[in-house]
Amino acid sequence: MLSALLALLALSAPLAASSPLDARGGPKHDKYHGKTLAPSNYTVVPGIFIQDDPKFNATGYDLLSDSFGLIDKSAKRWKNFTKYVTDLNKNADEHTTYKVVYIARHGQGYHNAAESFYGTPAWNCYWAQQKGDGNMTWADAELTTLGIAQAQACNAGWKTQLKDGIPLPQRLYSSPMRRSASTLDITWKDILLNKGVKPVIQEYWRESIGLHTCDWRNNKSDIASRYPGFDFEPSFTEHDLLWDEVYEETGTQQARRIRNALNDLFANDPSTFISITAHSGVINAFFLATGHNKFSVQTGGFVPVLLKAVSYPTATFSPITGGQSATAPACTADPTVLVKAPATVTVQPTWYPACATETATASPKPTGCLASPVTGPTPTATKA
Ligand SMILES: *[C@@H]1O[C@H](CO)[C@@H](O)[C@H](O)[C@H]1NC(C)=O
Ligand SMILES: *[C@@H]1O[C@H](CO)[C@@H](O)[C@H](O)[C@H]1NC(C)=O
Ligand SMILES: *[C@@H]1O[C@H](CO)[C@@H](O)[C@H](O)[C@H]1NC(C)=O
Ligand SMILES: *[C@@H]1O[C@H](CO)[C@@H](O)[C@H](O)[C@H]1NC(C)=O
Ligand SMILES: *[C@@H]1O[C@H](CO)[C@@H](O)[C@H](O)[C@H]1NC(C)=O
């Protein structure tokens, strides 16, 4: 795991190599007066979206039908919001900039469906380490039918807000996992991708690294052929060098990773409006790294956040402390008791229930029972 984290930290080098300075030697600016800034201290500008209110209750909340949580509900709300953010940037000192990050969780993937089916304890101690169960495959999980519908709902939600002038992301970033890239693709296909916007895949935005096969990624060639309109960060390797089958990154380690990702983003991308399609663990880490109100985001959900970054030479960063990488919890019960896919389970063909008592009232009489009780070992379900 250590080597994985070191490798990830090394990723920042080629990114930082593209200079944050423009031709005149100052920071790069965008049309909303946002600018690039060296490693920064991040805070959330409160009072703009209801999601950043500590009293916000995420249960049952549908931001798609509530202007994405923007508190201002007037017809001119998005034009006003854009002007508000532009003015913040215009009036900011040279050490300060503001960006709006739309941070999204992928739609439901097969691993989410499997975790619901097997239950979280059996998932974490056993099933997450398998690539599938013979019925579903969840290594680098793809979207389920529900996941696709969730991404389509986001697409429709954006089109609705667009009528009222919501500022579109100037840049789209994606985790390299299929479920995120597919969610981005469906969300933005006929809004931005058809206008030539090329999403950028970065390792930074992938889910908690290690242990779960759903968090292992396919090779670059495979991703490139599935998502031909996407770009990769320059350091992106052909094979997944970060994933480890024994160790998993903890939430606090992930928050440090996401803060590095934000440092890179703010140092290299002057865009003011940015979309990131990632994962629940990434969103939790983002909340921790920015001090945002914490809550869990549903599959297919997203959160708009107005971030303030300050970068003084003496700037301090709130510490994010975290210890060793985690390993899988031990199973406290047989994780294979629930069996989803009969095809993967070997049941001794000679085993049948005894006919003795249960046939007396059964109608029609069941076939395949044995007149006398079975002797020998009790059959157990085994993984194929
Ligand atoms: C949050 O909302 C749900 C659904 O409306 C409700 O059942 C729950 O009690 C609320 N939780 C709190 C802490 O208010
Ligand atoms: C414009 O937006 C800002 C920030 O959301 C808000 O404080 C202000 O009340 C809005 N103004 C109008 C006229 O809606
Ligand atoms: C990349 O992955 C695809 C799909 O799993 C596989 O067919 C291909 O051989 C792999 N390519 C390399 C270079 O490993
Ligand atoms: C950095 O942010 C923290 C809050 O997270 C704040 O207490 C501290 O003063 C900030 N430091 C600078 C130099 O802005
Ligand atoms: C196999 O998985 C699908 C979802 O892909 C599910 O609808 C179906 O019920 C599963 N079949 C079995 C036998 O578990």
- Which CA distances in Å does 142 have to 69, 202, 236, 282? 28, 18, 21, 18
d(CA 57, CA 312): 35
- Structural domain spans, the chain: 2-14+31-310
21: β partners: 27
| Site to substitute for ligand 3 among 213, 222, 226, most atoms within 8 A of C-beta | 222
Report pLDDT for 215. Answer: 96
Q: Kindly tell me the sign of the dihedral angle through the C-alpha atoms of 245, 249, 251, 255.
A: negative
Tell me which residue has its CA closest to atom 14 in ligand 4. Answer: 315
Ligand 5, atom nearest to 342 Cα: 13
d(CA 184, CA 258): 19
Report pLDDT for 336. Answer: 80
The secondary element (H helix, E strand) that includes residue 43 is strand 41-44
d(CA 183, CA 160): 18
Strands 200-201 and 231-232: parallel
Catalytic member of 33, 106, 212, 279 = 106
Report pLDDT for 325. Answer: 76
Ligand positioned closest to the Cα atom of 56: 1
The secondary element (H helix, E strand) that includes residue 268 is helix 251-268
Asked about 207 being catalytic, the answer comes back as: yes
Residues with CB under 6 A from ligand 1: 57, 59-60
The class level of CATH for 2-14+31-310 reads alpha beta
Asked about 248 being catalytic, the answer comes back as: no
Report pLDDT for 334. Answer: 81
d(CA 49, CA 53): 8
Ligand 2, atom nearest to 70 Cα: 5
- Cα of 263 vs centre of ligand 4, distance in Å, is 15
Report pLDDT for 2. Answer: 38
Tell me which residue has its CA closest to atom 10 in ligand 1. Answer: 57
Of 245, 244, 222, 246, the residue nearest 232 (C-alpha):
222
Tell me which residue has its CA closest to atom 8 in ligand 4. Answer: 316
Residues with CB under 6 A from ligand 4: 41, 43, 291, 310, 312, 315-316, 318
Ligand positioned closest to the Cα atom of 239: 3
Tell me which residue has its CA closest to atom 3 in ligand 4. Answer: 318
Ligand positioned closest to the Cα atom of 132: 5
Q: Is-contact 64 157, C-beta < 8 A?
A: yes
Identity (one letter) of the amino acid at 234? Answer: P
Write out pLDDT tens, residues 60-76: 999 999 999 999 999 99
Mean pLDDT (10-residue bins), the chain, 384 residues: 42 38 71 91 95 94 96 97 98 95 98 94 93 94 97 98 98 98 98 97 96 96 98 97 91 91 94 98 95 94 96 69 76 76 37 38 38 35 30
Catalytic member of 115, 207, 248, 249 = 207
Report pLDDT for 268. Answer: 94
